A and B are shown apart, each in its own frame.
Chain A
Amino acid sequence: MAKIIVNGEAKEVQLPLTLSELIKQNNVSQPEMVSVQVNEDFVDRTEWPDIQIKEGDAVDFLYFMGGGM
Chain B
Amino acid sequence: MFDFTEEQIQRYSRHILLQDVGVEGQEKIQNAKVLVVGAGGLGAPVSLYLAAAGIGRIGIVDADVVDLSNLQRQVIHFTKDVGVPKVESAKEKILAINPDVKVDTYREFLYSANALDIIKEYDFVVDGTDNFPVKFLINDACVMAGKPFSHGGILRFNGQTFTHLPGTACYRCFFKEPPPAGAVPTCSQAGVLGAIAGMLGTIQAAEVLKYFTGVGQLLTNRLLIFDAKTMQFRTIPVKHRPTCEICGEHPTIDHLIDYEQPTCELKKHKKS
Contact = CB atoms under 8 A, between A and B. Distances in A.
The answer on A and B forming one complex is yes
B129 to A, nearest CB: 5
Contacts of A33: 179, 183-184
A6 to B, nearest CB: 12
B interface residue count range (under 10 / 10 to 19 / 20 to 34 / 35 or more): 35 or more
A interface residue count range (under 10 / 10 to 19 / 20 to 34 / 35 or more): 20 to 34
Given A40-B237, A67-B154, A62 B223 contact: yes
Interface stretch (B37-45, B53-61, B104-112): B37-45
Contacts of A41: 239
B176 A68 contact: no
A67 B175 contact: no
22 contacts: A8-B236, A35-B174, A35-B175, A40-B239, A42-B238, A60-B236, A62-B225, A63-B225, A64-B184, A66-B132, A66-B155, A66-B262, A67-B153, A67-B154, A67-B187, A68-B38, A68-B128, A68-B129, A69-B43, A69-B70, A69-B128, A69-B129
Given A62-B225, A66-B184, 6 more contacts: A33-B184, A62-B160, A62-B236, A64-B175, A66-B262, A68-B154
Interface of A: 7-8, 30, 32-33, 35, 37, 40-42, 44, 60, 62-69
Interface of B: 38, 40-43, 70, 74, 127-132, 135, 152-155, 158-160, 173-176, 179-180, 183-184, 187, 190, 192, 197, 223, 225, 234, 236-239, 241, 262
